[in-house]
Amino acid sequence: MQVSMTVNGEAVTRDIEPRVLLVHFIRENLGLTGTHWGCDTSNCGTCVVLMDGQPVKSCTVLAAMADGHDIRTVEGLVVGGALDPVQQGFMEEHGLQCGFCTPGMMLTARALLDRNPHPDDSEIRQAISGQICRCTGYATIVRSVQWAAAHPAVTDTAADGAGTGESNSEEVTA
Amino acid sequence: MQIPAPFDYERASDVANALALLERHGPESRAIAGGHSLLPMMKLRLARPEWLIDINDLAELDFIRREGDQLCVGALTRHTALLESTEVAGLFPIVRDAELVIADPVVRNRGTIGGSLCQADPAEDLSTVCDVLRAKAVIRGPGGERIVPMSDFHRGPYETAVAQNELLCEIRFTIRPRSGSAYEKVERRVGDWAVVAAGAAVVLSADGTIEEAAVGLTSVGLDGTVGEAEAVLRGQQPQEDLFVEAARIAAAACHPVDDQRGPVDYKRHLADELTRRVLRRACVRATGAEEG
Amino acid sequence: MTTTQEHAPNPAAGDPNRPIGFGRIQRKEDPRFVRGKGNYIDDIVLPGMLHGAILRAPVAHARLVSIDTTEALAHPKVRAVITGKDLQGLNLAWAPTLSADVQAVLVTDKVRFQGQEVAFVVAEDRYAARDALELIDVEYDVLPPLVDARRALDPGAPVIRDDIEGRTDNRIFDWEVGDAAETEAVFATADVVVAQEVVYPRVHPAPMETCGAVADFDPVDGRLTLYETTQAPHAHRTLYAIVAGIPEHKIRIVSPDIGGGFGNKVGIYPGYVLAVVGSIVTGKPVKWVEDRSENLMSTSFARDYIMQGEIAATKEGKILAVRTSVLADHGAFNATAQPTKNPAGFFSIFTGSYDLKAAYCKVTGVYTNKAPGGVAYACSFRVTEAVYLVERMVDVLARKLDMDPAELRLKNFIKPEQFPYANKTGWVYDSGNYEPAMRLSMQMAGYEDLRREQREKRGRGELMGIGVSFFTETVGAGPRKHFDIVGLGMADGAELRVHPTGKAVVRISVQSQGQGHETTFAQIVAEELGIPPESIDVVHGDTDQTPFGLGTYGSRSTPVSGGAVALVARKVRDKAKFIAAAMLEARPEDLEWEKGRWFVKGDPSVGKTITEIAFAAHGTVPLPDGIDGNLDAEVTYDPPNLTFPFGAYICVVDVDAGTGQVKVRRFIAVDDCGTRINPMIIEGQVHGGLTDGVGMALMEIIAFDEAGNCLSSSFMDYLIPTAMEVPDWETGFTVTPSPHHPIGAKGIGESATVGSPPAIVNAIVDALAPFGVTHMDMPCTPARVWEAMQGRARPPV
C-alpha cells in the first residue's frame, strides 16, 4: 500500500506492506536512524517520535496509521542549523551517556516544553516516565530539560543566529 | 524486533463505513484505534487478524460532552484527553485517579477508552472505573444502536458484548449530585499493570447517609462490582467501621491468583486495604471536602 | 591523602589559547548523539545485506528429535536455513566459552534452556526472516528440567551436560579461598556469631540497545569484517580466529556506538557466530539483531548467588571474621566472563572495608536449565555479590548487637595507616581512607536528624528506614601475571600520534558503551601534553585501527587504559623534550615542562610549545641520535595492582504499611575514585549505578517457573526503574588517589551498582524493624515486603 506523511517538514510517499511499523518505516524506508527501538512491548520509549506534535511510541504505531500525519524525529529538532534548546541542554547537563534513549527523551521534552514552558521537576519526571534510560539515572535528564526551559529558543525568524548553536558544544562549563 | 504477521489494512472514514468494512471483511477483521493493546499481541503473534480497520479518523467518536445528567465520552477519546479534562475530574474524580496510573504518558497519547474497554484485560483499570460508575456502553452494529450496562458489557477476560461486526461508540456516565469516587492501584512500578486496584463510587443523601455505593476491584478475578459490600454500605453513615466491614466483604469476594505480582493472601489483603482507602476518599469527595 | 576538595578549576578553562586537562567539560561524543547521528549496530546497512533471525527453543530441557526446514527454505525471500547439523559439518556447532566450557551455537543434541538457539534463517528482509521461523517444524522430546539450583547436586537430578564425556552430575566447580581452620578458630571463640542466608537473585543488564552483529565475509580474500555490539573487540577477534579458524589478520572487528553494555556485551553469543556463518554461506553481509525477549532470555544474565553468610564479632562490636558458602547458578553452560583463575570472579573481596582476623569462602558452581552467563550488569567481576553479602551481614550484626549500623562500620574500618592493606583472602588494597567518606555521607544526610525523624514516625506507626552501606570496589584487572581471559593477559595498549600541526589522535583498546571515552581519554592526553581536548581525537572500537587490549568491563577502562594513555602521552612528552632541546640548542636536562611547553630552566621565555615541537619533529630540524622523525608513541600498560575505589552510601526509604510499597525518598552517595578526570562524567556514572541499585533492590529479577519457563522475558515483566522510582541523587566525594596508577585514578563505572543495593535493602529492613524483620531478599516488591511484614520473608529462589 502507499503511505504519505510529512516527516520533519518534508512530504514523503512510499509503498509498503500494511504491517510495517512506523519505527521501521522511519529507520529503514526513510533512513532516519536517529529513532531507535529497544523493546517490542511499548515499554521502553526509545522509539518515541512526535506525531502531530505529541510523543508516540513508533514501535506500536503502524506506518499506515501515520498516513496523512505530521511526524517529527530527532533529525527534525535542528532548525535552521541551530540546535533545539533541549539538545543543547542535554549536552550542557550530561543528560545522555550511551545516547540510545536520548532522541526519544528529547522529543518528549520538546513536546512538554511546548505545552508547559516552565515545568517543575516532578512534571518532567512524569512526562518521561514511559521511557527508560539505563545510563543516567534521570536526574541529569531532568536538569537538561530545565536547562532548555531556562534557555528558550529565540523565535524562528531569528533562529539562525541563536546562541544555542554548535559552536558552544565544547565550551567549558566548570 | 518483533513483527506482526501479514494483514490487510483499511482506514474507515466514519462509523457507518467502519461497520461496513467489518461486515465485508468478516470474522478475521478487527478495528484498531490506539493500537496499544492489539499491536503488541500481533507482534507476539498471539493475535493474527487478516484485516485491520483503522478507526482513528472517526472524529465523531472523539468527544467528551455533557447531555443532561449524562456525561458522554466517545470511544475514541484518548487517555490523555480524559486525564486532562477538568469536567471529568470534577464530576468523576475516579477517572482522573485511574488515568494517572494507566500505562504511561506517551502510551496515553494514543490509547483510547474504547480500546481499553474492548481489550477487557482483567487488569484493565477503566473497566473497573466504568463498573463502579455504572456506566453504559453505546454499541453500534448492523442492526443499529444498543445501549448496554457495564454489567452486561463484560463477558469475562478479553471478552465483551461488542460483536466482531460492531463498534463500541460511546460510554455514558450518569451525573449525580453529592457523589464522590476514587481509584487506587498498587503496581510494582509506574506503568505496570495492577497488582490489585480498587475503585469506589458513592452517592450521599441529603442527611449524609450513603444512598448508593459501588465497589470494584481490578486484577482479582471479579466479575462486576461487589454487590454484598455495596448492600452493607447503603443507607449507612460513612464511617471507618463501615468501610472496614465493606472492605472485608470485598476482599472475601474476590478470586486473586498467585503470580509474579504476589501471592493470593497479599492480593486479598490489598483488596481489603485499597477498598477502605477508596471508600474513605470517595465519601470525602462526595461531601465536597476535597478537591477532585 | 584525602581531600574533599574538587580538582582545582583549571586556570586554562575557557581560554582558547591555554590548554586544559582535567575538569568538567562537555562530552565530545554528544554533538552526534543529540542529533540522532550515532551509529549503532542496527544503523549499519551494507549493500546486498541479508537479515538473520533465530528460532529458539520453547522449552527448557528437551531432546531434539528432528528439524524440518523444507517449508522455510521454500519461502521466496529465504536464502538459507542453518541448523545444528549444518554447523557440525563446519565444526562450529559448539564454541568455547570464556570459562573453559563449551556452548552450543545451535542445538544438536539437547535443548538446555528456554530460548536456546535452534535454527538460523537468513532472508532478504527482517520481516521475511521472522515469518520463516514459523515455517520450521521442530520435534522435541521434553525432559524434566532442573530449575532450582539448590537441587542441582541431588543424586537424582537430571544431568544437564551429558554432552561432556564422563559427566554424571551438575557440579561445575568448587572453589575456596581464605583459611578455613583459622576462620573456624575465630568463630569458635567469638562472643557473637550471626548467620543469614543472603540471596542475590538473577538479574539482567538489559541495555537499551539489544545485542547484534553485521557479518561481512569476503570469499575472495577470506577476510571477515564483523560489526558487533562488543565491549571487547580485540578479545573477540582472537576468539573468532580460534573458533572459526579464520586467520586473525583476516578478521576486523568493528564495535560501533554501543547503546549501553553493562557487561551484556562482553561474551560471544551464538547469534554473532551465526551471522558470520550466514555471511559465509550466502556470500552476502548478514545482519542479526536480537529482540528484547531474546536479549532477556538468552544473553548474559547476572548474579544468581545463594550465599550462606556468617559473621563473628566481639560483644563490643569488633568484627572478627566473615565466612560464607555460596551456591552459584551458572545456567546451562559455564559462560561467565571473568579472569581464568577466578571462577567466582572477585567474590573473595567479601571481606569488605573491614579489618578482619580471618575470612573464608567456598563457592560451588552448578549447571541448571537456564540461560548461561553470570558476570555482567556492572558487577566488577562479582564484587556486587561480595559487597551485598558483607554489607547485609554487618547490618544483621548491628541489629543483633543493637548498635547503630553507621557506628558499627566506623568502628571496624581498615585504618588509613594500614594501606596498602593485605586482606585475608589475598587482595592488597592500594589505598583508602574510609572514615572521612563515611562521615561526609552522614553529614550530607543529616544522619542524626534522620534517626530522630524515624523515631518520631515509628511512634506514629509510620515506616521509615535508613540504610547504610560502605563498599570497597576491586577494579582495573589487572596485572597480567594474575589475570587473563582465555589466556590473554588483561593489559591494554595505547597509541598516540601528534600530527605536525599539533593536533593529536590517541588510539585505545577499550570500547565505550556510553561512558564518554572520547572525552575522558582526550582529557588525559590534554592533561599530560597540554593539547586541548578538542584537538585530540580518540579512536576506539575498530581492531584495524587500534592496539590490542582486553576491552571495557569491570570498570577497567580508566584504571588500565587510562594508565596506558597517560603513559603514552608521557612517552611523547619525553620525546618532545629531546626535539625541543635540539630546536633550542639546549641540553635536554636543562629543560623544564609546563603544561603544553618545554622551556629553558631559569628562562621561561625561551621554550617551544608542543605544537612547535610537533611540526619540528616532522620537519627539517636535525634530530638527536635515536630520535626518529615523528611525535608518536605506543605503550601496553600492565597495571601493577588492581585499584580499590570505595564509597559510603545512605538511603532513606518510606514504606507504605498498608501496601508494602517502598519509596526511595533520598539517596546520598559519597564516592572516592581517586583522581577525578571529568566530574560531570563521574557523577553520571554514579547516578546510573544508583538507579541500577534501585532496580535490583526493588524490582528487577529474571524469574522462572517450575518448568523452566522464563517469566521475565519482556519489559512488561522485567521491570527497570523509570524517573518516578528514583530520587534526585545527592552525591559527594573524597579523593584518595591510587598510589600505583599513573594519574592516581581508580575507576568509577560500577561503584554505585556495587554499593547501592545493600544501602537500599538495609533501609527497607530498617523500616520493617518494628515487625521483627532482620533480613529480606531482593527484589523488595510490594508483595515481598508485605510478606516480610507478616513474618514470612522468603527467598526469591
ipTM of the complex: 0.97
Q: Dihedrals φ, ψ of B176, to 5°?
A: -125, 140
Based on the domain organization, do B201 and B130 belong to the same domain?
no
Whether the per-residue pLDDT at A157 is higher than 70: the answer is: no
CB contact under 8 Å between C9 and A17, yes or no, is no
Q: Any idea where the domains of chain C sit in the sequence? A: 30-39+492-637, 47-143+210-258+265-298, 301-477+641-789
- Helix, coil or strand: residue A149: helix
Based on the domain organization, do B193 and B163 belong to the same domain?
no
Would A174 be classed as within a structural domain? no
Cell (9 digits) for C707: 518448568
The DSSP output letter for C500 is T
Based on the domain organization, do A118 and A64 belong to the same domain?
no
Based on the domain organization, do A61 and A99 belong to the same domain?
no
User: CATH number of the domain that A139 lies in?
Assistant: 1.10.150.120
Mean pLDDT of A71-94: 97
Would B17 be classed as within a structural domain? no
pLDDT on residue A169: 36
Q: Residue B186 is inside which H or E element, if any?
A: strand B179-187
CB contact under 8 Å between B52 and A18, yes or no, is yes
Q: Which of C289, C726, C781 to mutate to test the interface with B (most CBs of B within 10 A)?
A: C781
Q: What percent of chain B has pLDDT over 90?
A: 97
Q: Dihedrals φ, ψ of C716, to 5°?
A: -75, -25
Would A166 be classed as within a structural domain? no
Cell (9 digits) for C281: 554461506
Top CATH class of C301-477+641-789 equals alpha beta
Q: Which chain C residues have a beta carbon less than 8 Å from that of B260?
A: 703, 711-712, 717
Would A172 be classed as within a structural domain? no
The DSSP output letter for C330 is -
Q: Could you give the CA distance from residue B104 to residue B115 in angstroms, rounded to a whole number?
A: 16
Q: In sequence order, what are the residues at sequence separation of 6 or more whose Cβ sits closer than 8 angstroms to the Cβ of residue B99?
A: B79, B82, B83, B108
Low-confidence ranges of chain C (pLDDT < 70): 1-19
pLDDT on residue C17: 54
Which among B47, B48, B58 is positioned nearest to B19, based on CA atoms? B58
Q: Which chain B residues have a beta carbon less than 8 Å from that of C791?
A: none
CB contact under 8 Å between A134 and C728, yes or no, is no
> Quick one: closest CA in A to B2, which residue?
A40
Would B28 be classed as within a structural domain? no
Would A170 be classed as within a structural domain? no
CATH no. of C30-39+492-637: 3.30.365.10
> Quick one: closest CA in C to A127, which residue?
C723
Q: In sequence order, what are the residues at sequence separation of 6 or more whose Cβ sits closer than 8 angstroms to the Cβ of residue B256?
A: B196, B219, B220, B221, B264, B267, B268, B271
Cβ–Cβ contacts within 10 Å for residue B152, how many? 14
Q: Which chain A residues have a beta carbon less than 8 Å from that of C14?
A: 171-172
Final residue belonging to a domain, choices A27, A42, A76: A76
Query: Mean pLDDT over all residues of chain C?
Result: 96
Q: Could you give the CA distance from residue C670 to residue B124 in angstroms, rounded to a whole number?
A: 43
Mean pLDDT of A150-160: 66
pLDDT on residue C478: 87
Q: Which chain C residues have a beta carbon less than 8 Å from that of B192?
A: 716, 719
CA distance A17 to chain C (A): 10
Whether the per-residue pLDDT at A98 is higher than 80: the answer is: yes
CB B131 within 8 A of CB B224: yes
Would A139 be classed as within a structural domain? yes
Q: Who among A17, A60, A65 is closest to B56 (CB)?
A: A65
Mean pLDDT of A60-86: 97
CB contact under 8 Å between C208 and A100, yes or no, is yes
| Strand-pair category, C730-733 with C662-672 | parallel
Would A151 be classed as within a structural domain? yes
CA distance A148 to chain C (A): 13
Q: Could you give the CA distance from residue C756 to residue C392 in angstroms, rounded to a whole number?
A: 11
Which among B258, B41, B265, B191 is positioned nearest to C705, based on CA atoms? B258
Q: Could you give the CA distance from residue C242 to residue A161 in angstroms, rounded to a whole number?
A: 56
Is B270 at the interface with chain C, CB within 8 A? Answer: yes
Based on the domain organization, do B151 and B185 belong to the same domain?
no
Is C678 at the interface with chain A, CB within 8 A? Answer: no
Mean pLDDT of A65-93: 97
The number of C-beta contacts closer than 8 angstroms across A and C is 203
CB contact under 8 Å between C782 and B188, yes or no, is yes
- Helix, coil or strand: residue C712: coil
Based on the domain organization, do B135 and B220 belong to the same domain?
no
Based on the domain organization, do A56 and A93 belong to the same domain?
no
CA distance A90 to chain C (A): 7
Q: Which chain A residues have a beta carbon less than 8 Å from that of C20?
A: 172
Cell (9 digits) for C560: 588500565
Based on the domain organization, do A154 and A121 belong to the same domain?
yes
Predicted TM-score (pTM) of this structure: 0.96
Q: Who among B39, B52, B103 is closest to A130 (CB)?
A: B103
CB contact under 8 Å between A100 and C24, yes or no, is no
Based on the domain organization, do B258 and B157 belong to the same domain?
no
Final residue belonging to a domain, choices B152, B174, B196: B174
For the segment B193-220, what is each residue's pLDDT rounded down to a tens digit? 999 999 999 999 999 999 999 999 999 9
Would A26 be classed as within a structural domain? yes
Q: Which of B190, B220, B260, B276 to mutate to test the interface with C (most CBs of C within 10 A)?
A: B260
- Residue C85 to residues C200, C334, C442, C650: CA-CA distances in angstroms? 38, 23, 62, 55
User: Structural domain tally of chain A?
Assistant: 2
CB contact under 8 Å between B9 and A18, yes or no, is yes
Q: Which chain B residues have a beta carbon less than 8 Å from that of A45?
A: 104, 106
CB contact under 8 Å between A108 and B106, yes or no, is yes
Q: Which of B39, B106, B188 to mutate to test the interface with C (most CBs of C within 10 A)?
A: B188
CB C728 within 8 A of CB C658: no
Q: Which chain A residues have a beta carbon less than 8 Å from that of C127?
A: 17, 19-20
pLDDT on residue C485: 92
Q: Which chain C residues have a beta carbon less than 8 Å from that of A142?
A: 723, 728
Based on the domain organization, do B241 and B223 belong to the same domain?
yes
CB A5 within 8 A of CB A69: yes
- Helix, coil or strand: residue C181: helix
Based on the domain organization, do B169 and B183 belong to the same domain?
no
Contacting B with CB below 8 Å, chain A residues are 1, 17-19, 21, 23-24, 37, 40-43, 45, 48, 54-57, 59-62, 64-65, 67, 108, 126-127, 129-131
User: CATH number of the domain that B71 lies in?
Assistant: 3.30.465.10
Query: Mean pLDDT over all residues of chain B?
Result: 96
Q: Could you give the CA distance from residue C186 to residue C311 in angstroms, rounded to a whole number?
A: 10
Q: Who among B3, B36, B190 is closest to A42 (CB)?
A: B36
Q: Which chain B residues have a beta carbon less than 8 Å from that of C130?
A: 2-3
User: CATH number of the domain that B202 lies in?
Assistant: 3.30.390.50
Final residue belonging to a domain, choices B174, B191, B210: B174
CA distance A170 to chain C (A): 6
Q: Which of A21, A57, A98 to mutate to test the interface with C (most CBs of C within 10 A)?
A: A98
> Quick one: closest CA in C to A165, which residue?
C31
Would B170 be classed as within a structural domain? yes
Would A116 be classed as within a structural domain? yes
Provide the residue range defining the domain that includes B216: 179-286
Is A8 at the interface with chain C, CB within 8 A? Answer: no
Based on the domain organization, do B224 and B203 belong to the same domain?
yes
Q: What percent of chain C has pLDDT over 90?
A: 96
pLDDT on residue C243: 84
Identical fold, C30-39+492-637 and C301-477+641-789? yes
CATH no. of C47-143+210-258+265-298: 3.90.1170.50
Q: Could you give the CA distance from residue C548 to residue C41 in angstroms, rounded to a whole number?
A: 22
CB C75 within 8 A of CB C307: no
Based on the domain organization, do A43 and A106 belong to the same domain?
no
Is B26 at the interface with chain A, CB within 8 A? Answer: no
Final residue belonging to a domain, choices A49, A76, A103: A76
Final residue belonging to a domain, choices B143, B174, B205: B174
Based on the domain organization, do B166 and B79 belong to the same domain?
yes
Centroid of chain to Cα C291: 22
User: Structural domain tally of chain B?
Assistant: 2
Q: Who among B1, B110, B190 is closest to A56 (CB)?
A: B110
Cell (9 digits) for B191: 506503568
Provide the residue range defining the domain that includes A45: 2-76
pLDDT on residue C263: 95
Q: What region, left, alpha or beta, does residue B55 occupy, with left being phi > 0 and alpha being psi -120 to 50 degrees?
A: alpha
Q: Which of residues 63-82 of B touch A (CB under 8 A)?
A: 80
Cell (9 digits) for C327: 551456591
